[in-house]
Amino acid sequence: MRILTSRERCEGHGLCAALAPEVFDLDDEAVVVNRFDDREVPAEHAEAARRGVQACPVAALRIAD
């Protein structure tokens, strides 16, 4: 699974980073950072990644299988 990230849509709510800190973070401007950008999310982090994606209130994150 890969996570597609739209930094332009991100409003910095931080729910993704709170639910899945091993996958997401916020930069100094409170914009999402996908730790696995352009790479497969390791299987051990897949469930956390799904929770983080689902929690985004502005749909700045999507799952690409």
Q: What are the pLDDT digits (tens) for 2-21?
A: 999 999 999 999 999 999 99
> Terminal CA-to-CA distance of the chain, rounded, Å?
4
Per the structure, the complete domain to which residue 14 belongs is given by 2-64
- For the entire predicted model, the pTM comes to 0.92
For 8-30, the DSSP string reads TT-----HHHHH-TTTEEE-TTS
The pLDDT assigned to 35 comes to 96
Domain count of the fold of the chain? 1
CA distances 33 to 41, 45, 48, Å, are 14, 15, 15
CATH of the domain at 15: 3.30.70.20
Q: What is the mean pLDDT of residues 38-53?
A: 96
